[in-house]
Structure 1
Amino acid sequence: MNIKKFLPVLFLLLSFNFYAQGERMKEKKEQIKALKVAFLTTELDLTTSEAEKFWPLYNTFDDKQFELRHQKMKTLMKRMDDGGLDKMTEKEASAFLAQMESNDEELFLLRKKFTANLKGVIPATKIIKLRKSEEDFNRKLLQQYRDKGPRR
């Protein structure tokens, strides 16, 4: 078979594979989000009135938090590829560290604003319960991942 004819077919197959992986990741994210909503709903025991006000705030916060963390990880991974961290000058490392601290500060301010917004929606005890429930959910998810191990 002529290689020139084979390359476009190979490229097409690889494109479908990457697209399918992206779709699977999106499905996993949605599945985890659904499990998290169910878990938090059970743990917080929100009234109908509280739930109507809580979920739009929470979903906005959660999406923004995910975006910030994803951006942070993407930047970090990009730096780590090809031994980038080992080749970094002190000046570059300081700038990178400042960028990481800025991102952490942004996450902190996002959480602080979210908590302030929640104070008018649910009682302080449920806000504290929310923090604990989020940590419990993350711990449970991590344990489940460890128990199953990475799939190949």
Structure 2
Amino acid sequence: MNWNNLGDCKLLIADDDAFNRQLIVALLARVPNIKVIEASDGLEALKILKQNNIDMILLDYHMPRMNGEELLKKMKSVAELSKIPVTIITTDESEMRHLYTLGANNFILKPFDFKELRLCIYKHLQKIEGNHNICRV
């Protein structure tokens, strides 16, 4: 993988589990050109999305205050946010079809493997795959 081809990217991780956020931040720490921003719930993520030019969001489905589905709906209703690719992080495959119809682009199933997660992020940012991907990691 040649991450240098990506240019500068901002990736938002919205997950109420601090350990999961730390794992993803550590995983991407050595990747050049990617700035990772963290949010602990959907409301915080929405605020960050409105204040930053985010290139991709990794969005946990189950969060307090505003869950992943609610945030996805809000994003798709705001023109500036509607084009940001959204990858849902979940343990629940049963929600996939519904969330695709709401505009989710990818799914990463927990527990995830670090190499597979990096590959999924890379492929998504490179737009190598189609609009809807399930990253079975």
TM-score (ref. length: structure 2)? 0.25
Tell which structure's C-alpha radius of gyration is larger. Answer: 1
Q: Which has the higher helix share?
A: 1
Q: Which has the higher strand share?
A: 2
